[in-house]
């Protein structure tokens, strides 16, 4: 069995002695933490993290990765926490271990297969340090190697998860060696019978292949030597899973897939690659259309190589890959190859992500030169440095949203009706405001209420175009509906003064008026009145039947105020507003001012601004509160108190006991003895306000309570 001394021997081939010592220390801590725990196979638990560290040491990963690998199950399975690891091995190791634990906690079991891609992206998005993924992949690889001890159902489930999640992840990162092994292990566990059939077939076929492989290899070597091209030639065994996939996807028989002879030629320089290519094309005739230049046009994950297929002796097809040593390392280890190259340099801490970015930049550069960076961006960048955030719906579906998205964005992403009626969100089962920014892996439930409406304030925090346009559209429609309804009431009231009504107007009159105003319909006209763009009184005059052309000027002019007042309900919506200068509430004497584009603004009769507007009498509308006016109306009150510790709390409690809400508080005029407190509270009407004021007057140390004018 792989022991700690084996790991240290491997590590000291490329790490400093003190770094190897740290790995030994991590092993001691891990062994102590997992003491008494055994794996299903019966061996002590510590052999699992030890083996995981061994896999990473073979990839020549840095010592922090190996230390983290040794401790990767400690947070999840033992009493040792992140802080303990941080204290003993530093921030970076603690963060990697913590990251691996978080990924381990994310369970794919219950998710639909179609969600695999998003699940994988979510794992990537949760990872700030790419080494977390590398440890997780090594962890999975060892678990798959030792899967035999698991019950059948568990084996199948782990195998499916491996093929759906971890294999594509390894592929994106260019880690082909790990990928191929994970594929074969996953295939064996998921389809044991198919696996056995193919393995047997390979065993049988191998015998008579040997001679041909040897013959071709010798021929290639001889030719390269003649042309003085230094190169290594190796025969390649096909992987079982890739044989299976080819048979399945291309409908080929086993022998059609397997009776292909595969070789890899590695050389020193790129130039040599092409010279070797020319040389083997001279030796055996190439199969037309099979040559691929992945050196000039690398694959999305940075893979580079020349591929060609030749007609071999007896007509057998020969697949040849030609690449440099460096390309070969990248092809096997992908992103991990980067640690390998930089291992000699001083291992500046905090450079893990930088290295990942360098790898990425390198691949991006290759892609740009090849001119197909789009595919690259789609596949690699999104996985590594995502601009998205991934969250779960209560049903376990994964939703993908742009970074910075809020609960409202999610609501609209699910359905526009849910967006339009949402009132709150539950994030990880706790209530949260709709403006909450979402984070990866959260469980989000959107709470809706029938009749709820979008709030214009949402436009300040939503980030998706979908949410923004739906909110805008809703508000525009709503505003237009409200304007039409208010406009109808305003115009009807004006017409009443002339003993007329909208229903009794002749079609000719309406048509003429619309032509005059260049409008298409009565609705358009009513909307303009409701929005204050046109005055109801002037429109009414336009609609009065003309006795004759010259009599028009003598049309009846009503006495101002003679018409019945427009009744205010408080539910008119966005086209009716209450002036902030005087804060009218039901029960106050009020006046309406027609403000172009804003609709009707309600003031109190005594408001000082009303005096200013008196010189435009045509813009004032006679209004009154309807008996049943409802809603919450803000009003300002002022309290003078002798300075007393804790009094603010008493006042606040008194106000809310009286069923009023406090919207804001200001403190002023502070001297030794008196304090003046200003509150904006919301009340239903004057009676309600009177009750609040009376209760406040009853508080000890409160000397004066007034409504602010």
Active site residues: 76-77
Least Å distance, CB 255 to Mn ion, is: 40
For Mn ion, the binding residues in 642-681 under the rule CB under 5 A are none
| Neighbour tally for 359: CB within 10 Å | 25
CB of 33 to Mn ion, least distance (A): 13
Contacts with Mn ion by CB under 5 A: the residue count is: 2
Q: How far is the CB of 76 from Mn ion (least distance, A)?
A: 8
> Rule CB under 5 A: which of 400-459 touch Mn ion?
none
Q: CB of 69: closest distance to Mn ion in angstroms?
A: 9
Q: With respect to Mn ion, which residue has the nearer C-beta, 73 or 95? A: 73
List phi, psi (to 5°) of 268: -85, -45
Which one of the spans 32-40, 67-75, 190-198, 415-423 is the region binding Mn ion (CB under 5 A)? 67-75
Could you tell me if 621 and 490 are in contact, meaning their C-beta atoms sit under 8 angstroms apart? yes
The set of residues, in sequence order, having a beta carbon less than 8 Å from that of 35 and lying 6+ positions away, is none
List of residues 6+ apart from 58 with CB closer than 8 A: 10
Least distance CB 83 / Mn ion (angstroms): 21
302/359 Cα distance (integer angstroms): 9
Position of tokens 């763009």?
Answer: 533
Q: How far apart are CB 5 and Mn ion at their closest, in Å?
A: 21
Distances (CA, A) of 288 to 208, 291, 455: 27, 7, 65
Nearest to 173 by CA among 136, 118, 126, 119: 136
H or E segment to which residue 440 belongs: none
> Tokens for 581?
């200068």
* Among positions 73, 329, 383, 588, the unique one binding Mn ion when judged by CB under 5 A: 73
DSSP per position, 119-151: HHHHHHHT-SSHHHHHHHHHHHHHHHHTGGGS-
Nearer to Mn ion, 15 or 50 (CB): 50
Q: What residue has token string 């009177």? A: 690
* Length of the chain as a residue count: 709
Residue 105 or 428 with smaller CB distance to Mn ion: 105
Strand-strand pairing, 599-604 and 317-324 = unpaired
| Of 1 and 649, CB closest to Mn ion | 1
Q: Provide the mask over 213-252, with x wherever binding to Mn ion is found by CB under 5 A and - wherever it is not.
A: ----------------------------------------
Residue 494 near Mn ion by CB under 5 A: no
CB of 313 to Mn ion, least distance (A): 49
Nearest distance from C-beta of residue 163 to Mn ion, angstroms:
19
Is the Cβ of residue 165 or residue 495 nearer to Mn ion in the bound state? 165
Q: Is 139 or 409 the residue whose CB approaches Mn ion more closely?
A: 139
Q: Which is nearer to Mn ion, 73 or 329 (CB)?
A: 73
d(CA 574, CA 582): 19
Residues 393, 414 contacting (CB under 8 angstroms) = yes
Which secondary structure element, helix H or strand E, spans residue 303, and what is its range?
A: none
Nearest distance from residue 146's CB to Mn ion, in Å?
10
- Show the tokens assigned to 384: 């590594």
- E strands, 403-512, are 422-427, 430-432, 444-448
Q: How far is the CB of 22 from Mn ion (least distance, A)?
A: 20
Q: Give the whole-angstrom CA distance, residue 260 versus residue 202.
A: 12
Task: Determine the distance from the C-alpha atom of residue 491 to the mean position of all C-alpha atoms in its chain, rounded to a whole number.
Answer: 50
How far apart (Å, rounded) are the C-alpha atoms in residues 348 and 16?
14
**Which residue's CB comes closest to Mn ion?**
139
Mapping DSSP onto H, E and C, the string for 306-321 reads EEEEEECHHHCEEEEE
CB contact set of 595 (below 8 Å; sequence gap of 6+): 532, 601
* Phi (first) and psi of residue 612, to 5 degrees: -65, -35
Q: Judged by CB, which is closer to Mn ion: 77, or 496? A: 77
Question: Across the strands, what pairs with 267?
Answer: 324
Q: Which is nearer to Mn ion, 73 or 445 (CB)?
A: 73
CA–CA gap between residue 630 and residue 569 (Å, rounded): 6
Residues numbered 175 to 204 that lie near Mn ion (CB under 5 A) are none
Nearest to 441 by CA among 32, 184, 123: 123
> How big is the CA angle at 10 (ends 8 and 12), to the nearest 5 degrees?
65
The H or E element containing residue 71 is none
Instruction: Say whether 356 sits in a helix, a strand or coil.
Output: helix
Q: What is the DSSP string of 169-196?
A: HHHHTT-HHHHHHHHHHHHHHH-HHHHH
**Segment lying near Mn ion (by CB under 5 A), choices 71-79, 253-261, 302-310, 313-321:** 71-79
Angle between helices 130-145 and 63-70 (to 10 degrees): 50
Binding mask 105-144 for Mn ion (x = CB under 5 A): ----------------------------------x-----
Q: How far is the CB of 15 from Mn ion (least distance, A)?
A: 22
Residues that bind Mn ion (CB under 5 A): 73, 139
């Amino acid at each position: 069995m792989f022991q700690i001394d084996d790991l240290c021997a491997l590590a000291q081939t490329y790490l400093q002695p003190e770094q190897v010592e740290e790995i030994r220390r991590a092993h001691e801590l891990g062994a102590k933490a997992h003491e008494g725990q055994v794996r299903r196979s019966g061996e002590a638990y510590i052999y699992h993290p030890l083996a995981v560290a061994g896999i990473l040491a073979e990839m020549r990963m840095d010592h922090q990765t190996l230390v983290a690998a040794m401790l990767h199950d400690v947070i999840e399975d033992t009493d040792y926490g992140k802080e303990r690891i941080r204290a003993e091995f530093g921030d970076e190791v603690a963060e990697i271990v913590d990251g691996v634990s978080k990924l381990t906690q994310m369970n794919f079991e219950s998710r639909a297969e179609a969600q695999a891609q998003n699940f994988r992206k979510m794992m990537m998005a949760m990872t700030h340090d790419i080494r977390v993924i590398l440890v997780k992949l090594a962890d999975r690889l060892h678990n798959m190697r030792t899967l035999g001890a698991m019950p059948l159902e568990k084996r199948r489930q782990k195998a499916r998860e491996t093929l759906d999640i971890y294999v594509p992840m390894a592929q994106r990162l260019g880690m082909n060696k790990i990928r191929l092994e994970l594929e074969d292990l996953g295939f064996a566990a998921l389809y044991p019978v198919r696996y056995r059939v193919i393995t047997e077939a390979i065993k049988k076929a191998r015998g008579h292949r040997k001679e041909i492989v040897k013959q071709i290899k010798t021929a290639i070597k001889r030719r390269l030597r003649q042309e003085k091209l230094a190169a290594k030639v190796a025969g390649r065994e096909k992987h079982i899973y890739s044989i299976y996939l080819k048979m399945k996807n291309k409908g080929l028989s086993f022998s059609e897939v397997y009776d292909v002879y595969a070789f890899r030629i590695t050389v020193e320089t790129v130039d040599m690659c092409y010279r070797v290519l020319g040389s083997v094309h001279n030796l055996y005739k190439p199969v037309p259309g099979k040559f691929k230049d992945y050196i000039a046009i690398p694959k999305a994950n940075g893979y580079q190589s020349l591929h060609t297929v030749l007609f071999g002796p007896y007509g057998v097809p020969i697949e040849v890959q030609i690449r440099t040593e460096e390309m070969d390392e990248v092809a096997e280890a992908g992103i991990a190859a980067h640690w390998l190259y930089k291992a000699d340099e001083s291992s500046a801490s905090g450079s893990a992500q930088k290295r990942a970015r360098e790898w990425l930049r390198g691949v991006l550069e290759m892609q740009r030169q090849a001119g197909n960076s789009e595919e690259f961006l789609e596949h690699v960048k999104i996985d590594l440095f995502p601009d998205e955030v991934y969250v779960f719906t209560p049903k376990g579906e994964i939703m993908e949203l742009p970074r910075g998205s809020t609960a409202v964005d999610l609501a609209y992403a699910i359905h526009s009706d849910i967006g339009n009626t949402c009132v709150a969100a539950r994030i990880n089962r706790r209530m949260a405001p709709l403006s909450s920014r979402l984070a990866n892996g959260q469980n989000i439930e959107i709470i809706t209420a029938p009749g709820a409406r979008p709030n214009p304030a949402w436009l300040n925090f939503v980030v998706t175009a979908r949410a923004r346009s739906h909110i805008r559209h809703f508000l525009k429609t709503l505003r237009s509906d409200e304007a039409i309804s208010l406009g109808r009431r305003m115009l009807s009231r004006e017409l009443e003064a002339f003993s007329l009504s909208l229903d009794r107007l002749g079609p000719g009159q309406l048509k003429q008026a619309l032509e005059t105003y260049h409008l298409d319909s009565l609705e358009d006209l009513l909307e303009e009145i409701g929005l204050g763009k046109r005055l109801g009184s002037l429109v009414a005059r336009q609609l009065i039947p003309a006795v004759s052309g010259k009599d028009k000027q003598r049309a009846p002019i009503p006495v101002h105020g003679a018409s019945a007042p427009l009744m205010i309900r408080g539910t008119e919506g966005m086209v009716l507003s209450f002036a902030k200068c005087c804060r009218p509430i039901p029960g106050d004497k009020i006046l309406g001012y027609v403000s172009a584009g804003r609709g009707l603004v309600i003031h109190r009769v005594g408001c000082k601004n009303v005096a200013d507007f008196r010189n435009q009498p045509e813009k004032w509308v006679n209004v009154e509160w309807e008996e049943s006016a409802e809603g919450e109306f803000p009003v300002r009150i002022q309290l003078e108190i002798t300075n007393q510790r804790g009094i603010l709390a008493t006042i606040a409690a008194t106000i809310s006991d009286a069923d009023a809400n406090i919207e804001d508080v200001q403190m002023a005029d502070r001297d030794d003895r008196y304090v003046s407190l200003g509150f904006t509270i919301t009340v239903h009407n004057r009676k309600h306000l009177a009750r609040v004021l009376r209760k406040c007057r009853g508080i000890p140390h409160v000397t004066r309570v007034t409504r602010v004018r």
